[in-house]
Structure 1
Amino acid sequence: MPDKDFVVLLIDDDELLLRALRRTLSRILPNWAVETLQDPYQLTELLSKGLMPDVVFTDRLMPGIQGEQVLQQVQQLSPIALRCILTADNSADLLVQDTALIHFFLAKPFTDEQLQQVFSCAERLRVLNFSAAERAYLGRLSVLPVLPPLYKKIEAMLHKDEFQLRDLAELVSHDPVVSSRLLQLANSAFLGFSRPTLSLTEAINRLGLDMVKSVVLALKSGVAYQSHISTTPYQRITEQAFHQACLARYLCKEANLGTEIQDYAFLVSLFDCLGWMAEHLQQPSMADEDSCHFSMISAYLLTLWGFEQTLVQAVILPEELSDCSSLPGVVHWLAHKAAQHKDYELDEDERHIVESLQLYPAWTELQASIKTN
């Protein structure tokens, strides 16, 4: 077995490409062992010998077999591995967006930076300390949403020097679902807004760019689930996530925490919807002992999408409040309890933690507000 921290398996019938890619990866990733396979039909034999790759790259078009078929074998035999497909056909992007087989799509020629993003993702997943059974469950998810195109367009717009809020409002205005939700939030007394507005530009200004992006991500990534979940449970899950996110922000506001932490807590709690939807679609063939807590699914997806480690850690909901590693994580835990259990009572240890963070008065105010509403 390779004596390295991580292992990548490269599969391509082109020997010259394999050699070139191997040299590149050996140069930019010294802590990775690079294994190659020129004959994709030998994949089963190779994996049966004990090779456990963290990442698998395969060319999309090879003699007699397509990359998707290869990755299907990888998903079954080595579900822990992140799966990446390589192609010279940019239009193939449209063909792979709806499949759960492919975690990453790289169009040739790709850059060192694009390669490093894939391997950085694998390294950050290792830090999350999921068990082998949990990683296998995550690798076999039947539906894997991709980063929404609208989210990507917003990110690209924000990096332009001439960026204006009205331009963002114009972009978002073409999506009525997102637009209506942003206006709803910008007029929410629960979030602290007392004066109504019908201006999408003002709504974006009130909510802030991070919250706008999180709303887009939560609403549009769920599109991948819509063909698998009927309308009623889909709407229920979405509404439940936004309600919980509003509770998290309200808790921060009542604790006199700054706007930045309020927005951060909002999006951390909002992202539970990703895991809830995936958990709703759990396949009967996935044994209960191999299942994953919904927040782990959310953390897994956010890691694939390149979100920062601190946010991903805050998304994971431990059983015990004492296991939360950050203030946003604690707020997320409390908001989840408040949303799921209207009369939830903190035990002695939980109350001590909440009091030590000066959140207890805000917690009691939150509970009173929930009962009133």
Structure 2
Amino acid sequence: MAGQWDTFFFASGPEALAWIDANGPVDVIVSDMRMPGMDGAQVLETVRRDHPATVRVILSGYAEESAILRTVGPAHLYLAKPCTPAALQQAIARPLALRERMTDPGLRSALTGLSNLPSLPAVYGEIEAELRSPLASARSVAAIIARDLAMTAELLRLTNSAYFSLGTPAATPLQALRAVGLETVQTLVLGIGLFRQFSGRPGDLPMLEALTRFSLDLAGRCEALALASGAPAELAKVAHCTGMLSHIGTLVLIDAHGAAYRTILPRVDVKNPLDRLEQETFGAAHGLIGAYLLGLWGFAPSLVEAVAHAWHPREAPAGGDNPLLGVLHGALALGPAPLLASTVEGTRPALDRAYLARVGLDSHVPAWQALISSPCSKGTR
């Protein structure tokens, strides 16, 4: 990548930080974990504090759990040695490509500097109490996490880490909990603060609650549509996960710009769809914001692509031949609106039958419509 990237190498954390202070922030920093004097977690925490727009990556063969868990906050990605050059290149290039599409530099910086997402206060209280209970189990904890958009995203983000070396990334909170272990989650939530309670304006809380209900419903519908299309059960679970995470960009906007977000909702209509108003107001629509975060956190490229292009699937690279994208687009276009605005028109994309025909899904639309209209199309968790 010498012809495309400017790269700089340093023998220690303090040396790298001194260079950044003298020359200005960099787009990406890749640090080892175990180093004398200042370890990788300390280096990346300093970069997060002083230069929040920098993408932060740990590349290490050090496997002591207590040290690794300290990187959960400051590191966007944990890559395990040995790591191929191609894997490192992709981990760096994917989020940067999405970031370039955001027109507001302040938004790019805020997203990269984001440490965690806000959870519903009621659910946050429940999860803390359950994790402190001697009767807590993976199943009981997962059932609570599955009801909250932010907690689901944070937990699944954790299992994308190369440290856990999962053969297949977890698609549900229960799978994730079984992979990382209940004790690890207790440490992260109660000791390190993996989850964060929403503390915005009281007027923003109803929007967050409505968004959570919508995301849960959308997840079930994505799973149901995937199964109706003949997808195997494993892919249907990933479709469920895709639907659940597809609006984390909206969650970010409500958390950071709740008052401004409320002002655009009355303006939503056919001529001014929600995604266009978000782009004009914030420099990026919710799909791109969510895709950027998911890409930054190491989620599968097919899931990231689906979230990024769900409103306009024909804009996806390589024609968008991605079953997750087709199912999410169908669930959004055919299903109920997010209930954030007073109108339905403009709060969901128009169904692109031409795109669905091109990717071989158009014949399933009648079955999808029947499922969407049925009250029993929530899928399973």
Q: Same fold (TM over 0.5)?
A: yes
Q: 226-235 vs 343-352, which deviates more?
A: 343-352
1:265 paired with 2:239, answer: yes
Once residues 285 and 86 of structure 1 are traced to their aligned partners in structure 2, the CA distance between those partners, rounded to angstroms, is 39
**Structure 1 contact 60–86 (Cα < 8 Å) conserved:** no
Q: 1:295 to 1:119 in 2, by over 3 A?
A: same
Q: Deviations over 1:206-239 (max 9, x none)?
A: xx9954348859xx99963424457755543332
Matched positions, count:
285
RMSD (Å) for aligned C-alpha atoms: 5.0
Which secondary structure state, in structure 2, belongs to the residue aligned with residue 340 of structure 1? coil
- Which residue in 1 is equivalent to 2:252? 278
1:315 paired with 2:279, answer: no
- Which residue in 2 is equivalent to 1:212? 172
**Structure 1 contact 226–234 (Cα < 8 Å) conserved:** no
Q: 1:176 to 1:302 in 2, by over 3 A?
A: same
Deviation of 1:289 (Å): 5.6
Q: 1:280 to 1:332 in 2, by over 3 A?
A: same
Greater RCO, CA 8 A, separation 6+: 2
Deviation of 1:122 (Å): 0.8
Once residues 281 and 292 of structure 1 are traced to their aligned partners in structure 2, the CA distance between those partners, rounded to angstroms, is 15
Once residues 174 and 345 of structure 2 are traced to their aligned partners in structure 1, the CA distance between those partners, rounded to angstroms, is 27
Deviation of 1:332 (Å): 0.6
- Which residue in 2 is equivalent to 1:111? 81
**Structure 2 contact 102–284 (Cα < 8 Å) conserved:** no
1:123 paired with 2:93, answer: yes
Deviation of 1:6 (Å): 2.9
**Structure 1 contact 252–261 (Cα < 8 Å) conserved:** yes
Which secondary structure state, in structure 2, belongs to the residue aligned with residue 55 of structure 1? strand
Deviation of 1:264 (Å): 2.9
Which secondary structure state, in structure 1, belongs to the residue aligned with residue 227 of structure 2? helix
What are the residue-to-residue correspondences of 1:132-211 with 2, within 5 Å? 133=103, 137-141=107-111, 143-145=114-116, 171-173=138-140, 175=142, 177-178=144-145, 211=171
Once residues 371 and 310 of structure 2 are traced to their aligned partners in structure 1, the CA distance between those partners, rounded to angstroms, is 21
Once residues 173 and 364 of structure 1 are traced to their aligned partners in structure 2, the CA distance between those partners, rounded to angstroms, is 34
Once residues 57 and 270 of structure 1 are traced to their aligned partners in structure 2, the CA distance between those partners, rounded to angstroms, is 32
* TM-score, structure 1 as length reference: 0.57
Q: Which amino acid aligns with 1:55?
A: I
- Which residue in 2 is equivalent to 1:241? 215
Q: 1:179 to 1:319 in 2, by over 3 A?
A: closer
Q: 1:344 to 1:227 in 2, by over 3 A?
A: closer
What runs of 5+ residues in structure 2 fail to find an aligned partner? 118-135, 149-167, 178-184, 261-278
Q: Which amino acid aligns with 1:333?
A: H
Once residues 377 and 305 of structure 2 are traced to their aligned partners in structure 1, the CA distance between those partners, rounded to angstroms, is 32
- Which residue in 2 is equivalent to 1:154? none
What are the residue-to-residue correspondences of 1:1-373 with 2, within 5 Å? 3-10=2-9, 17-18=11-12, 38=15, 40-47=17-24, 52-55=26-29, 57=31, 67=43, 68-75=45-52, 79=53, 81-84=54-57, 91=66, 97-98=72-73, 102-104=75-77, 111-113=81-83, 119-128=89-98, 130-131=100-101, 133=103, 137-141=107-111, 143-145=114-116, 171-173=138-140, 175=142, 177-178=144-145, 211-213=171-173, 224-228=195-199, 233-282=207-256, 291-324=283-316, 325=320, 326-337=322-333, 338-340=335-337, 350-354=352-356, 357=361, 358-369=363-374
Once residues 344 and 367 of structure 1 are traced to their aligned partners in structure 2, the CA distance between those partners, rounded to angstroms, is 17
Q: Deviations over 1:137-158 (max 9, x none)?
A: 2442353339xxxxxxxxxxxx
Q: 1:144 to 1:215 in 2, by over 3 A?
A: farther
**Structure 1 contact 276–294 (Cα < 8 Å) conserved:** yes
Once residues 105 and 366 of structure 2 are traced to their aligned partners in structure 1, the CA distance between those partners, rounded to angstroms, is 39
Q: Deviations over 1:86-131 (max 9, x none)?
A: 9999756666645xx542468xxx7343998665411232454742
- Which residue in 1 is equivalent to 2:180? none
**Structure 2 contact 146–173 (Cα < 8 Å) conserved:** no
Once residues 119 and 278 of structure 1 are traced to their aligned partners in structure 2, the CA distance between those partners, rounded to angstroms, is 27
Once residues 180 and 39 of structure 1 are traced to their aligned partners in structure 2, the CA distance between those partners, rounded to angstroms, is 42
**Structure 1 contact 8–57 (Cα < 8 Å) conserved:** no
Which secondary structure state, in structure 1, belongs to the residue aligned with residue 242 of structure 2? helix
